[in-house]
């Protein structure tokens, strides 16, 4: 009986997956330019469904020499299409902290409108923090977690366990007051500009494209325990202290 039930489920599941896949007939295309109006090569464009779950990975495409892109096999429905190029300081707006309260205007794809042209202007640029994180006692490079949070919109934040691998380059929302916390399970927490006391933290603020070098040392909770050096592999973040 169990075998019959399993065998009956498989065709039904296949039918559902086939039906869902046949909906993926939409196309979005356009051009990505920078703040000076010049086409951007190698920008990543993502299509974020606003009326359904995004799934495992967002449909995306990279721009060519002329800044053109095409994303195919999109589902019918409402989509927010945006661009990013982090090596030129244009952040991933899919992380709400970079979007803030800016209005998102989705497009709609359906059987009557299966294709849409969406031209994208990148900007403003984020601020850039660069530096390294090491243990204060041993000088071992560390891979702690980092949290950035908007002061005026505290529900807008990002936590990441892979941005720092000894060295780091982090994009920070520009022209916004941002708090910064760095921590792991073996060291005392570090709040910008360099305190272990949360009440003494102050906001960080950078202009578009502004770079700031910040080398950070974390104090071990127990100096007798050997620190785990950065391995290049992102792990799970422990609870925020």
- Of the listed ranges 52-61, 132-141, 213-222, the one predicted with least confidence: 52-61
Q: Give the mean model confidence (pLDDT) for residues 191-216.
A: 97
How many Å apart are CA 234 and CA 51, to the nearest integer? 30
pLDDT at 99 over 70: yes
Q: State mean pLDDT over 15-25.
A: 53
This prediction's pTM: 0.83
Domain ranges in the chain?
A: 25-121, 127-218
Given a contact cutoff of 8 angstroms between Cβ atoms, the answer to whether 174 and 206 are in contact is: yes
pLDDT, residue 51, reads 87
- Domain 25-121: give its CATH code: 2.60.40.10
Residue 241, pLDDT > 80, answer: no
Sign of the four-CA dihedral 6, 12, 16, 18: positive
Cβ atoms < 10 Å from Cβ of 122: 20
We find that the CATH architecture of domain 127-218 is Sandwich (2.60)
Q: Tell me whether domains 25-121 and 127-218 share a fold.
A: yes
Given this model, what pLDDT does residue 72 score? 96
Q: Return mean pLDDT, the chain.
A: 87
Residue pair 47/59 in contact (Cβ under 8 Å)? The answer is yes
Q: Which residue has the higher pLDDT, 230 or 183?
A: 183
Tell which wins on pLDDT, 182 or 239. 182
Q: Does residue 112 have a pLDDT over 60?
A: yes
By mean pLDDT, which of 1-15, 39-53, 91-105 is the weakest? 1-15
């Amino acid at each position: 009986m169990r075998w019959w039930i399993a065998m009956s489920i498989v065709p039904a599941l296949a039918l559902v997956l086939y039906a869902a896949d046949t909906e993926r007939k939409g196309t979005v295309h356009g051009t990505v330019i920078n703040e000076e109006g010049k086409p951007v090569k190698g920008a990543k464009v993502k299509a974020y469904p606003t009326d359904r779950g995004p799934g495992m990975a967002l449909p995306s495409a990279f721009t060519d020499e002329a800044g053109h892109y095409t994303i195919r096999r999109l589902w019918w429905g409402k989509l927010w299409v945006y661009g990013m190029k982090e090596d030129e300081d244009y952040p991933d707006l899919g992380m709400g902290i970079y979007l803030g309260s800016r209005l998102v205007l989705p497009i709609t794809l359906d059987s009557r409108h299966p294709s849409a042209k969406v031209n994208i202007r990148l900007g403003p640029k984020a601020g850039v923090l660069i530096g390294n994180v090491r243990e204060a006692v041993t000088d071992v490079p560390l891979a702690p977690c980092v949290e950035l949070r908007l002061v005026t919109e505290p529900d807008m934040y990002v936590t990441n366990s892979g941005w720092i691998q000894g060295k780091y380059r982090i994009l920070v929302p520009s022209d916004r007051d941002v708090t910064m916390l760095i921590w792991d399970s073996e060291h005392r927490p570090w709040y910008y500009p360099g305190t272990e006391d949360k009440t003494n933290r102050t906001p960080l603020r950078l202009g578009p494209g502004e770079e700031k070098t910040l080398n950070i040392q974390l104090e071990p909770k127990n100096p007798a325990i050997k620190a785990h050096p950065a391995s290049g592999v992102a792990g799970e973040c422990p609870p925020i202290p």
